[in-house]
Structure formats: C-alpha cells, structure tokens
Amino acid sequence: MRNRWHALIAAALCIGGLPQTAGAQAPETHSAQTTAFDRRAGELVDLFNGKIAFADYFAPSFQQAIPEAQFKAMTAGLIAQYGRAIAIEQVISKDGRSGTLQLRFEKGTGSVILDVGADADERVIGLRLTGFQMANDSYDSVAAELAALPGATGFLVAELDGASIRPLAAANTDKQFAVGSTFKLYVLDELAAQIAAGERQWSDVAPLSHPSFSSAGTANWPRNTPVTLQTLANWMISVSDNGATDTLIHLLGRERIEARMRAAGHSDPSRNTPFLTTVEAFALKGNNFADIRPAFIAGDDKAQRKLIEANRGRLVLANVDGVSFIEGPRFIDSLEWFANPNDIARAFIALRARRSTTLMSVLAINNGVGPAASEPWRYLGYKGGSENGVLSMSLLGERKADGKWFVVTTSWNDPKANLDADKMVGLVTRLLALAAK
C-alpha cells in the first residue's frame, strides 16, 4: 500500500535504477585540470573495495544520513552479487563538483551520481547509485532469480500493439497477486473517464476530504483543504498518497471504479469488490477490527459491501491502529487489492487508449527507476505498490529507438516475511533494460 518509489536525497545511496551503457575508458570532465570531482570519482573503486576509510571519504552530513554500517552492508551486498569494483568510466562533470560516472564491477556496471562538498577537505556529500546493468544479462537469468525468491512471484515483459499484448518474457501471468498501491491505476482510469465524458475537469477544485494513513504528500494537511483533481491525481500516482486516493474514491464513486476495473479487463474483479479505500483496508487488517474481519474475509461481494456500509462510522482513520506497519505481513491473501501481470498490462492499455496528455503526464512524474533507467525511453510511466510481504512495480514505456510501446510489470508476495525492495528494483530495472534493446 505504501509506494517505495526510491526518491533520491542529496546524501543517500539508493540501489535500483539502470545505468547507461558503459563506453569510453577516458574520463570526460569540464577542464583538463584535476577537480574535486575527478579526485573523488577516482577513489570510488578503492572505496567500494574497502581501501578508503568511510569517514575520510564522506562529509558529516552524509555520515548522518547513511551510517557506516549501513553503507558497508550495501556495498557488501553489491560485491556479493556483482563482484569487486574494478574501474570507473564515462566520468562527466560540468562544474568540478557534481556529475555522473559509470562504476564497473566484475559482473556488471553501475550508474553513479556524485556530489562533492565545498569545504576545504572536499568530502562527498552525495553518492547515488541509481542503477545497475548485469553483464551478459538475459530474460532467462532474471526469471530464474525471480523464481528463486521466497514466496511467489510473477512478471510480464510485453510489447503493446494497440489492445494486443505480445509477451517477450513472462511467468505466472494468470496468478492473482496482492499489488498494493498499483490498484490506483483503476482510480486514475475512472477519473480520466469522467473527465472525458465532460462530468469533471482536471482543474476542478475539491476538498481533501478523506485523510489516510501513510500519506506522503498530504500528511497533517487540514481536512477539506481545496485542491484540484489533477493535484489529487499527481499525489496519488507519484508519491502514492493515500489521502488523495481515498478522496478520489469517495468523489468518483466506489461502484463506478469497480465498473471501470471490469471494463479494463480485470480477470477476477470480485477480488477487488467492494473496492476498498486505503483506510478501510488498513482498518480491517488491524486488531481493532478483529470482530468483523473473519466475516468480511468469508463473505461474498454482496455481504462484504453490506458489512462495509454497516460499519462506515467505525472504518475511519482514527480507528486505524497501524499494526500492519510494525509487524510482518497481515492478511495479504485476503485483505488487499489484487491483479495478475496480464491485468496490469490491460490497465495500462486502457489508460493509454484515452489519449490524454494530462493522464500520461501524471504517470510519468515518478518513473520509479530514475533518469539513467529512463534514458532509452521516449516515455516512461510508473506505478508501484508495497506493504509488508507485498511488492509490485509496473512500467509503461515508449522505446526511443522505434516508438514501440512496452509494459514491464513484476509482483512479489510472501505472507510469511517482509521483502527486499532493493532486490526487486534491481530485477525490474534489468527487465526494463532488456526491453529497451
């Protein structure tokens, strides 16, 4: 339900994007003189191989944001998967302080954004590893790694030709997975449908009427703050804001979103009927609703809808105890939003078919994988979702090379344990890189 979308802050290392292809060995810099950026970039191989002290390389601001133990755990994981760091390539800086480079390992290449501080010691204030490309990668290799993960996984990489889905690689495409906030694609589709029908406009103003738990954009905003529908959509998709989502669900109508989901071709719409708001889902998962949860899970669509209506006054944010965020997975097989990889591909087809520039811009605010990963793509839209035991990442892209459209979607569920989001991001961006070729 929370969308871990990997926004990169100035002093953070984030593993998970996709690099550009490694090229010339010679550094490319803004001048012939050695700059602070050149020097710190040149030390990266030794840093990753443990030959330079953490405190000597990073400024205090970075050390505070990323403790040494956390950094060492990250680098150890990289080396375990990709081998030792061996070289830097494609070093580019316009000001001698900030820039990009490729860090080559024995079995792959990472794309790095590096920022050097202006203090006299010129230590690094920002290091972001935004992506990774495996050497000699293949769909079979990624599929094998996904299949080996604990729990259950499914994925689809497919070319989209109008309404046709042409798979390039896939596994478990007909299995229903908990997908967390990926369900918000259907809310966006219904919003766009009502706008296309002339019932609403993107510029319409509505009150932020339904605050929710874990809202990245609207946390602590006063109830009924006036915002446009486009703003609500931007928040819902780009940062997976739950308050914006629930406001839209109540505004657009639960039943109309359910109908839109069916029209988009969802293969098992009953799994998402009634179409729960985030507050309703969070509440039902928690201990405060242990009295009605068994009946809800056991009920059919009609019984579930009746139960929701009967408990409307209880299923509110004040009664969400947050237990699903501090413990392991909670009822992800029965209290969630569900879709299989083919369903998500069909949802993207429905969204693209609306030919709405605004809709497409909403999907592209946060492409989920960073600038390096998006370089081969003329357009890249994204929606992800996560909860304890649930990870989902889905992308819609137009390839620069030939204008063809593709979908890349992956889901991972494990009802027994929390999941490794960095591993998921790495696998998805590898699939995206393969689709870009």
Domain match, 121 and 179 both: no
pLDDT at position 252 is 98
Is 396 part of a structural domain of the chain?
A: yes
Region of residue 224 (left: phi > 0; alpha: psi -120 to 50; beta: else): left
- Where a domain ends, among 79, 105, 134? 134
Task: Please tell me whether residues 196 and 305 are part of one structural domain.
Answer: yes
298 and 167 in one domain?
yes
Question: What is residue 193's predicted lDDT score, i.e. its pLDDT?
Answer: 98
Q: Is residue 13 part of a domain?
A: no
Q: Which pLDDT belongs to residue 26?
A: 31
CA distance linking residue 145 with residue 85, whole number of Å: 22
| 169 within 8 A of 139, measured Cβ to Cβ | yes
Q: Are 362 and 233 in contact (CB under 8 A)?
A: yes
114 and 181 in a single domain? The answer is no
Please name which of 119, 106, 112, 108 lies closest in space to residue 141, comparing C-alpha atoms. 108
10 part of a folded domain: no
Task: Give me the residues of the chain with pLDDT under 70, please.
Answer: 1-32, 131, 324, 372
> 60: domain range?
36-134
Same domain, yes or no: 158 and 238 = yes
User: Is residue 120 domain-resident?
Assistant: yes
Same domain? For 123 and 199 the reply is no
Beta strands in 223-361 (DSSP E): 226-228, 338-339
pLDDT in tens, 240-270: 999 999 999 999 999 999 999 999 999 999 9
**Whole-model pTM?**
0.80
Residue 372 confidence (pLDDT): 66
Residue 116 is assigned to a structural domain of this protein: yes
Position 220 scores a pLDDT of 87
**pLDDT at residue 20, as a whole number:** 26
Do 147 and 293 lie in one domain? The reply is yes
Does residue 91 form part of some domain? Answer: yes
Distance CA 200, CA 330 (A): 37
Residues 322 and 230 in one domain: yes
Task: Indicate if 50 and 187 belong to the same structural domain.
Answer: no
- Summarize pLDDT for 369-394 with one digit per residue, the tens: 877 678 899 999 999 999 999 999 99
Paired strand residues for 66? none
In a domain? residue 334: yes
Q: How far apart are CA 40 and CA 125, in angstroms?
A: 11
Domain boundary among 111, 134, 157: 134
Provide the pLDDT for residue 306. 98
Residue-wise DSSP of 60-116: HHHHHHS-HHHHHHHHHHHHHHH--EEEEEEEEESSSSEEEEEEEETTEEEEEEEEE
Q: What is the pLDDT of residues 47-76, one digit of tens each?
A: 999 999 999 999 999 999 999 998 998 888
Domain boundary among 89, 109, 134: 134
Do 126 and 187 fall into the same domain? Answer: no
Same domain, yes or no: 189 and 63: no
- Give me the CATH number covering residue 142: 3.40.710.10
Class of residue 326 by CB neighbours under 10 A (exposed 0-12, middle 13-18, buried 19+): exposed
Residue 77 lies in a domain: yes
Is 256 in the same domain as 405? yes
**Sheet containing 124-134: order of strands:** 85-93, 98-105, 108-116, 124-134
What is the number of domains present in the chain?
2
